[in-house]
Structure 1
Amino acid sequence: MYSYKYPRPALTVDAIVFVKDENGTSVLLIERGIEPFKGHWALPGGFVNIDELLETACKRELKEETGLEVMSMEQFKTYDAINRDPRHRTISVIYSTEISQKAKVKGSDDAAHAKWFPVNNLPDMAFDHSKILSDFFS
């Protein structure tokens, strides 16, 4: 369909889904089931399809990887460090949404697990997702 003379970066989206309750703030993460970073925790997300809007892609990836459906998300920031993904140049647009309570989630698609974590006690994270969460919650 398209043919380009120059290399292009890949475009991804990642979702920050969080809940504030009496125990503090928790964020939804997935355990990666594939390389790179297999077994590490990450924000739900993935590659944008050629015929897809960014927010639509983020909601789709969230549902595919965790089973969670949300109505709307707000764009937070774009991350474009050159070596943020060991596979190739990847630029990620981050979206966020706050929900009222922790929903039941289950890892699927390329996510081995999905789980809520307190933002002050996060596991080892894949890619630059620790920095993204630090930026968002600071």
Structure 2
Amino acid sequence: MYSYKYPRPALTVDALVYVKEESDIFVLLIQRGIEPFKGMWALPGGFVNMDELLETACKRELEEETGLQVKKMDQFKAFDAINRDPRHRTISVVFSVQLPEKTDVKGGDDAASAKWFSVNNLPEMAFDHRKILEEYF
């Protein structure tokens, strides 16, 4: 394909899925099954394939890691802090979707588990995902 002289960043997507219930908001997180940050919680997401649009990649990663299928997501923001991923330079585009109610989810692919958390009681989180949630909410 192409050969470039200069290094390039990797591109990922993250899914911010949430439900509003009375006076609380619940967000869907996955427990990472692999390094980096194995065992910590994160937004569902992963690397974009060469033949995918960003939203398509986000919906695929969401389904692979939680079993949840959604029809449409809205692009929120790109996160590009230099050291946000300890493996290499990674830029993530975050997509969001509000669901009418919590649904059953289960960890799959490289996610050990999936679970709903109150935004007021989040676990220790991987990468910059707590910052992403703080900016969104």
Note whether the superposition's TM-score is higher than 0.5.
Answer: yes
| 2:29 corresponding residue in structure 1 | 29
Q: Which residue of 2 aligns with 1:17?
A: 17
- Counterpart amino acid of residue 29 in structure 1: L
Report the counterpart of residue 86 of structure 1 in structure 2: 86
Following superposition, the deviation at residue 23 of structure 1 comes to 5.2
- Identical positions, percent: 75
Q: Deviations over 1:69-99 (max 9, x none)?
A: 0000000010000000000000000000000
Q: What residue number does 2:51 align with? A: 51
- Could you list the per-position Cα deviations for residues 17-68 of structure 1 after superposition, in whole angstroms to 9, with x for gaps in the alignment? 0001125110000000000000000000000001100000000000000000
Name the structure 1 match of 2:114. Answer: 114
Gaps in structure 1 of 5+ consecutive residues: none
1:80-124 Cα offsets, whole Å, 9 max, x none, are 000000000000000000000001000000000000000110000
User: Runs of 4+ in structure 1 displaced over 6 angstroms?
Assistant: none
Q: Which residue is 2:5 aligned to?
A: 5
Aligned mates of 2:113, 2:49 — CA distance in 1: 23
Alignment partners' CA distance in 2, 1:23 and 1:59: 28
Which amino acid in structure 2 is aligned with residue 63 of structure 1? E
Superposition RMSD in Å:
0.7
Structure 1 length normalisation: TM-score?
0.98
Q: Distance in 2 between matches of 1:23 and 1:71?
A: 26
Q: Which runs of 5+ in 2 are unaligned?
A: none
Instruction: Report the secondary structure of 2:116's partner residue.
Output: strand
How many residue pairs get aligned? The number is: 137
Cα shift at 1:2: 2.3
Find the aligned partners of 2:107 and 2:3 in 1 and give their Cα distance.
36
Residue in 1 that maps onto 2:77: 77
TM-score, scaled relative to structure 2: 0.98
CA distance in 2, matches of 1:68, 1:5: 40
**For residue 110 of structure 1, what is the amino acid of its counterpart?**
D
Displacement after TM superposition at 1:6 (Å): 1.1
- Aligned partner of residue 62 in structure 1, secondary structure: helix
